[in-house]
Structure 1
């Protein structure tokens, strides 16, 4: 796996090896990742990445969040509860020299808890502009994670959500589906929070 574009283009990421079968570690292929970022950057919805705060749920290797950093995002928070995956994310963050622009949260992505902002302004500052979501396929975890993140105030108005699944997902309200593409066995759905 490599960073496909942007300032860190060509950077080789840590080898997954046998991964973590119990955690269903399934990195997004370079081809699907390239398609996702082409859709984000060159699509008709406006490029959401420059200066964005990015939330990478079910982060796995961290490749999606790191690709976003390479392409202009300001900060990425990786949410991953699997120890082998967190070790890969840490190694990849070090390879990219991005520790000052990243955080790794050891959490269940379906239970982030409330946004810690004490008031509306602080909550908005802690919310995210772009969310990547690549849960284990076919378990309904993506729906649960997004429903919870929305209810707890983690998405900014107008936030873009990029969701990978094996089949078209049920998009929770108030998100609006704006695009959907199939790449082999992966369905990529773009959703947006109302502004």
Structure 2
């Protein structure tokens, strides 16, 4: 029987899963793509066959990474928003925080999912559900601002955010992307 490094088997399993997810996320930030399972296992301090006890395939690992990333992403974004009280300011910070996190490489799992051949089509519904969760703070602040069709407007702002992050991948500095997006969005928010 293998040794466990925690008081219970469940805690050991949770620690191993956390180590695998952290290792995969770090490798993706470094390399920009989902690494081979052997690389993830080595970074997590596991034998290559052991990783398959937790994630039977790269796709399973990628799904787990995106599911793990979403609450942490939301926590970071909302923590930055919480430093402000006015809905317009909170919306601008929401957009800026997302751009800065993408620029820092925090969106590596999402980028890997989009780049993995055939995976996007398989998990399109899963990705839509995750993106809907990420839009919740934006929808809430638009409602506070008095926007009657908050969800469609949030989707339009998200499309602008997506275009802005595309500029990052083409080499535009994050500060410039933030400035340009503010130039487009802020006049609308300030007239509400």
Question: So what's the TM-score if we normalise by structure 2?
Answer: 0.27
More strand as a share of residues: 1
Larger radius of gyration: 2
More helix as a share of residues: 2
Question: So what's the TM-score if we normalise by structure 1?
Answer: 0.27
Higher relative contact order, chain-length normalized (CA < 8 Å, sep 6+): 2
